[in-house]
Amino acid sequence: MTVVVGTAGHIDHGKTTLLRALTGIDADRLPEERRRGMTIDIGYAHLTLDDGTVIDFVDVPGHDRLVGNMLVGAGEIDAAMLVVAADDGPRAQTLEHLGLLDALSIGPGVVVVTKVDAVEPERIVSVVAAITDLLAPTSLAGSPVVAASGLTGHGLAAIRTALAGLAARVAAANGGVVAPTRPGAVAIDRVFAVKGRGTVVTGTLRGGPISRGDTLRVVPGDRTVRVREVQVHGLSVERADGGRTALNIAGATADEVHRGDVLTADPTIQATSRALATFGSAIADRAHARFHAGTAATEAQVGRSGRDALVLPDGTTAGVVRLASPVALASGDRFVLRRGAGLHPIGGTILDVHPPRGVSRRRQTPDRVGALAAAVAAGGHAAVATRDLHGAADGRLADDVREIGLATVMEAVVADAALTAVRATVSRSIRRVVSLRRDEAVAAAAGLIDELVADGRLVRDGDRLRLPGSPASRVDPVLAAAMDRLEAVLAVPAPPSLSAAAQAVGCPPAGVRSLERAGRIVVLEPELAYAMSTYRDLAARALAMATRAPLTPAAFRDATGTSRRYVMAILEDLDRRGILRRTPSGHLPGPKAPIAAAP
């Protein structure tokens, strides 16, 4: 088990000296840091306890001008080690760091009173008492306090014991050591190039393992990279399971990935510049702040007016955070808003990385958002309940790349709209009550109509729909049978030419036009057509493959068992409609791909 512990405390209180004494590693990695004796950027060290537990330390700067760098380290830690010098006692950055840890809800912690060799015992007692009082109203309340000296070694054994207890509390808070339920993700905190090796990134690994050869997305952005090598504590490994991790990647230069980016195969982590969130305390509408999440930071404005002015049933404040630049986020992520000197930081939790827009905001009620918040708190990032509740608020639920589904709460509303508008455009009816793009509405309408026909609420006559009991349309039964036969012939991955198939089943041009007009077949080229159900399946497979890695025609050909002629026609059609986007390395999801497309 690996536990990531972040240091915190005022400048020159001995954080780096203490880590050097505990681990034998100098966390000041920059020449300027060693020359000045002051931590400027985050540093790293590690310690293996007697029971095999590994403590990965993230050493953060204590200077007031470097709080942003401190939050880069604090954004990806499991627990904290607050360091206070016995001669100085709690100072400005002690209080600020404590406030930031509290805003992030970092609970498990250890407090170390350092430099005890430089003061009288009475001073140590008074500093411990002051610290205990400071911790009481925060998330670190009850943390053990240990007196130590990084110079003499006094108290180091007690610190190791306290760290073992801290690791046990982290494991208990996570429900014990269990198999991760989501793919691994590394929030990048360092990027550099190694001559002859290429780009290397470091960060804290969350979720499942990452292995050599994995293909990962860079979020934000649409770039994918391949993992050439994985290192943990300077040693090459086949895979990393958690904690501090270094990845040598192919597919991006050191100038093309940045601190704050996330490398992951997890589809729930998405780039967004607008998120629905809860806040740890009240905050005004249009308040400006610096937003910190993971290792990313950007300017933000809080929206708490109109339907975004939410007070949930439990009294929690919620609203929308608008970001100056996209950040990789998932539901359940913690964040901090820093509002300037003298103002207490505000913590919060991301509920929805794509909150409702348009008419869907009418259903963004305190009760629904409160249920969503409860589901996020109980089920983490990807719980089914969270997706369902998001659908209840938004009216949409993209469970599968093959179709846009509708949330259960909306099915009755849309079904009534479809039934009353059966002789009009069903997709237009859907768009009146659900916030969907036109192509998404068409896909949702097609699936809904199939369900209505299956349960008998609509009757399909050829390319027409009617209500049960209404007169059947006058469709030539011979023509209708020929159309059915042609649709069946085209329901294969490699269909025959359209004219030959139509001639073989006796379907005249009027029947072909009716099939296309009704959306039962899709014609990609004059002689290439698919049954719509087959084309949806092939398009879904292409999008799923492109989500995992750049999709090449050869890979799609092998996956479908067809030939280049068929796959190129499909890929070109998906490119043209914006579902895919062609790049030099292959096809990637395009701007009109379903938002929740996942492998």
Residue 587: band (very low, low, confident or very high) from pLDDT cuts 50, 70, 90: very high
Cα separations in angstroms, 158 against 112, 146, 148, 321, 590:
10, 7, 8, 43, 55
CB 390 within 8 A of CB 372: yes
Dist. CA 162–CA 145, nearest whole Å? 9
As a whole number, mean pLDDT of residues 312-335 equals 92
**Ranges 120-124, 361-365, 443-447: which has the least confidence:** 443-447
- According to the model, what pLDDT value does residue 381 have? 43
* 527-532 own/partner pairs: CB under 8 Å, 24+ apart: 527/497, 527/498, 527/499, 528/495, 528/497, 528/498, 528/565, 528/566, 528/569, 529/490, 529/495, 529/498, 529/501, 530/490, 530/491, 530/495, 531/487, 531/488, 531/490, 531/491, 532/446
Task: Please state the separation of Cα 31 from the chain's center in Å.
Answer: 35
H or E stretch covering 542? helix 532-548
Question: Would you state the structure tokens that stand for residue 191, as one six-digit string?
Answer: 């990027």
Give the mean pLDDT of 495-521. 90
Taking the C-alpha atoms of residue 156 and residue 506, their distance in angstroms, rounded to an integer, is: 88
First vs last C-alpha separation in the chain? 29
Tokens read off for 13: 């209180």
User: Taking residues 543-548, what's their average pLDDT?
Assistant: 89
More confident residue, 595 or 448: 448
Which residue, chain included where needed, has tokens 């036969």?
A: 485
- Write the pLDDT tens digit of every residue in 328-347: 998 888 898 987 766 788 88
Top mean pLDDT of 73-87, 147-161, 379-393 is at 147-161
Concatenating the DSSP letter of every residue in 132-182 gives HHHHTTSTTTT--EEE--TTT-TTHHHHHHHHHHHHHHHHHHTTSS---SS
Q: What is the signed CA dihedral for 99, 100, 102, 107, rounded to 10 degrees?
A: -130
The residue with tokens 């990609």 is: 524
Q: Would you state the structure tokens that stand for residue 3, as one six-digit string? A: 């536990």
Rg, C-alpha atoms of the chain: 29
Confidence (pLDDT) at 39: 33
The residue among 593 and 87 whose pLDDT is bigger is 87
198: left (phi > 0), else alpha (psi -120 to 50), else beta? Answer: left
pLDDT of residue 50: 84
Mean pLDDT value across the chain? 79
- The set of residues, in sequence order, having a beta carbon less than 8 Å from that of 536 and lying 6+ positions away, is 402, 403
> Residue 384 above 70 pLDDT?
no
| Per-residue model confidence as pLDDT tens digits over 7-44 | 888 877 778 888 888 888 765 443 433 343 333 346 77
Comparing 110-114, 322-326, 594-598, the range with the smallest average pLDDT is 594-598
State how far the Cα of 329 lies from the Cα of 470, in Å rounded to an integer: 51
Backbone angles phi, psi at 339, to 5 degrees: -105, 5
Taking the C-alpha atoms of residue 426 and residue 442, their distance in angstroms, rounded to an integer, is 8
pLDDT given for residue 477 in this prediction: 81
The answer on pLDDT for 83 being more than 60 is yes
Counting residues of the chain whose pLDDT is more than 70, the rounded percentage is 78
Q: Predicted confidence band at 71 (pLDDT cuts at 50, 70, 90)?
A: low
pLDDT at 108: 81
Q: How confident is the model at residue 404 (pLDDT cuts 50, 70, 90)?
A: very low
CA–CA gap between residue 216 and residue 202 (Å, rounded): 14
Q: What pLDDT is attached to residue 410?
A: 52
The C-alpha atoms of residue 12 and residue 35 are separated, in whole angstroms, by 14
Least confident of 166-175, 214-223, 280-289, 383-392: 383-392
Phi, psi of 140 (to 5 degrees): -95, 10
Amino acid letter, residue 326:
P
Give the pLDDT confidence score for residue 207 in this predicted structure.
82
Q: What is the dihedral of CA 312, 313, 314, 320, to 10 degrees?
A: -10
Look at residue 68 and tell me whether its pLDDT is greater than 70.
no
Report the alpha-carbon distance of residue 81 to residue 84 in Å, rounded.
Answer: 10
pLDDT tens column, 423-438? 445 445 544 445 555 5
For helices 553-560 and 564-576, the axis angle rounded to 10 degrees is 120
- One-letter amino acid identity for 200? V
- SS3 state at 283: coil
Round to whole Å and give the CA distance between 215 and 226. Answer: 4
**What is the distance between the alpha carbons of residues 173 and 108, in angstroms, rounded to a whole number?**
9
Confidence of residue 415 (pLDDT cuts 50, 70, 90): low
Strands 270-279 and 288-293: unpaired
Whether the per-residue pLDDT at 320 is higher than 70: the answer is yes
Average pLDDT over residues 431-451: 62
Quickly state the pLDDT bin for 471 (edges 50, 70, 90). low
- Among residues 457, 505, 460, the alpha carbon closest in space to that of 481 is found at 505
Name the residue among 135, 138, 145 with its Cα closest to residue 111. Answer: 145
| Residues 144-197 pLDDT 10s | 999 988 888 888 999 899 888 888 887 776 654 444 557 889 989 888 888 888
Which of 268-282, 316-330, 340-354 shows the lowest mean pLDDT across its residues? Answer: 340-354
**180: Cα within 13 Å, side-chain hemisphere:** 16
Nearest by Cα to 203 from 223, 231, 163, 222: 231
pTM over 0.75: no
Spatial separation of the C-alpha atoms in residues 112 and 98, rounded to whole Å: 13
Does position 327 have pLDDT exceeding 90, yes or no?
Answer: yes
Does residue 261 register a pLDDT over 90?
A: yes
Q: What is the mean pLDDT of residues 213-237?
A: 89
387 vs 210 pLDDT, higher one = 210
Residue keyed to tokens 């991301």: 350
What is the per-residue pLDDT for 416? 57
Whether pLDDT at 456 is above 60: yes
DSSP state of 496: P
